[in-house]
Structure 1
Amino acid sequence: PTGLLPQIKITQFNGDPKEWSTFISSFRDMIHNVVPSDAQRHAFLKHLLTTEVRSYIAEYLENPSTYYDALVELKKRYGQPQVVARSPLMALINLPSVRDDDSEALAKLNRTLHGIMHALRTGGYKRDLESGMTLEHVVSRLPSRM
């Protein structure tokens, strides 16, 4: 039938604060505002969280009456602006070092660094991005021949 819409799938939320706003807006639009009961919403929410995220809010996932409490806890943990901003800073700190002969790792470092730079710039952390310590840290991850 040509009149059917494609099936839309919400990706499980894995606890990455950068993904929170995308996840929660999809959940709100496709589940929360559409599904008629809190018990059903609760079941969907539980299903759409990874095991690790579920473990953080386990006390709110046992009973459908705690659906709204679960949403509040998730927002507190993953949806605060400072948590979202901290995510690219942590990614920057955790950049792997690249060996001299590993061009693939260097290309990956480049892609990762571009993503981090974009996130810091758009998140209002331009000063952190331009600090001498940041530059020193990034340079320390480059191959020694560079």
Structure 2
Amino acid sequence: MHFASLLKDGLDLPKPELLHFDGNPLHYTRFMTTFDECIASRVQSDKSKLNYLIQYGAGEAKKMILFCSCMDDDGYRKARKVLHDHYGRPFIIARSYVQRLTQGPYLEADDSEGLQELARYLDECYVTLSHLGYFSDINNFEHLLGIARRLPLNMQHRWKRHAGEIELCGSEPQFSHLFEFVQNEALIANTLFGRMMTSKKDSGPPKPTKPPPRMFRASSHAASVSTGYEGKHRQASRQVTSAQSVMCPMLWRNVKCSKKSSSENDCG
């Protein structure tokens, strides 16, 4: 009864999808693990396994194993060896991860999506290399430094302190330390406050606005001084005008006399 239930559940489940392998060393471990789980464990004939392996190959990887179909019984083992030697050796996979993790763009302080992507790649690298048991290349100091330099500047300072504390305890910083550090930073950046504090709109405190120009009013003292000055100016103007009115008849008389003497001289 239990076996029949398991059989029914197996029939009801959708068939697992097997991705094609295009020759990318970063995809080799995942492809071969899925191939063994979904096909190799269910097929008895090595010839059939080889046909499936060729069917799910793509690009250069598929071209490399096509000749194995002409072989008799060893074609399947030969095809797997060819793929492993070109794409599945641990140092090839590790160096591919090093290139991918160190040659990406530098992250800005508000690039939470870029930080999440880097954390995902580090997680994938850690799981794959743990499966292979190979960390010698990725633990190289220059490689760790190349990954750390892609982090935002403020995060680099925190990693520098964290790595320094590891050294002071008598150990050497490893890839696992950097992986855990970036994972924690990515989790913090994905929290509510992490998203709000690193958004471009709220990247800093609000800038102070300039106050409107003030309209200065004259003080009562200034007004009284100005009024006194204007009163004195008007009084002086009236004195000049009255003096001109007194002098005008004399000036007019002199002008008439000068015109009269001038006309007499002309007549003479």
Asked if these proteins are the same fold (TM beyond 0.5), I'd say yes
**Normalised TM-score (structure 2):** 0.41
Per-residue CA shift, 1:2-34, capped at 9, x if unaligned?
725122333323434354344334433543354
Letter in 1 for 2:139: L
Greater helix content: 2
Is 2:139 the counterpart of 1:129?
Answer: yes
After alignment, is 67-76 or 97-106 more displaced?
A: 97-106
5 Å-filtered alignment, 1:47-126, equals 47-55=55-63, 57-60=64-67, 63=70, 65=72, 66-99=75-108, 101-116=110-125, 123-125=133-135
Point out where structure 1 has 5 or more consecutive residues left out of the alignment: none
**Normalised TM-score (structure 1):** 0.66
Point out where structure 2 has 5 or more consecutive residues left out of the alignment: 156-268
Distance 1:108 1:79, change over 3 A: closer
- CA positional deviation for 1:72: 1.6
Distance 1:81 1:54, change over 3 A: same
2:29–2:88: 8 Å Cα contact kept in structure 1? yes
1:91–1:116: 8 Å Cα contact kept in structure 2? no
After alignment, is 114-123 or 74-83 more displaced?
A: 114-123
1:97–1:143: 8 Å Cα contact kept in structure 2? yes
Structure 1: how far apart are the matches of 2:19 and 2:62?
A: 15
1:60–1:67: 8 Å Cα contact kept in structure 2? no
Q: Please give the root-mean-square deviation of Cα atoms over the aligned residues, in Å.
A: 3.6
Letter in 2 for 1:68: R
Letter in 2 for 1:44: Y
- Corresponding pairs, count: 144
